[in-house]
Chain A
Amino acid sequence: MASIAARARPVAISTDLSVERKLAGINIFIAFAALAIGGLMGVLQILRYNGLDLYTPSKPLLPGGYYQGLTIHGVLNVLVFTTFYIIGFLTYIFTKSLNRPLASSRLAWATLWVMVTGLVLAAIPLLANNATVMFTFYPPLKADALFYIGLTLVVAGTWLLLVNMIITRNAWLADNPGQRTPLPAFMSIVTMLMWTISTIGVASEMLFLVIPWSLGLVGGTDPVLARTLFWFTGHPIVYFWLLPAYISWYTLVPEQAGGKLFSDPMARVSFILFLILSLPIGMHHQVTDPGISEMWKLVHAVFTFGVFFPSLLTFFNVVASLEYAARRNGGEGWLAWIFNLPWGKPEISAQIVAMMLFAFGGISGLVNASYNVNLVVHNTSWISGHFHLTVGTAVTLSFMGITYWLVPHLTGRKLWSRGLAVAQPWLWFVGMGLFSHFMHELGLRGMPRRTDIGGAPYVQDEWRFFLFFALIGGLIMFVSAIFYYLNMIMTLTRGKKLAEAPDFTFAKALSGPEDAPKILDRLLVWVAIAAIILIINYVPTILDILSTATFDIPGRRVW
Chain B
Amino acid sequence: MREINVAEITENIKEMCIEANHILTQDMDLAMKTAVDAEKAPLGRQILCQLQDNLKIAKEDMIPICQDTGMAVVFMEIGQDVHFTGGILEDAVNEGVRKGYVEGYLRKSVVKDPIIRENTKDNTPAIIHYEIVPGDKVKITVAPKGFGSENMSRVFMLKPADGIDGVKDAILTAVKEAGPNACPPMVIGVGIGGTFEKCALMAKKALTRPVNERSQIPYIKELEEEMLEKINKTGIGPGGLGGTTTALAVNINTYPTHIAGLPVGINICCHVNRHAVRVV
Please say whether chains A and B are actual partners in one complex: no
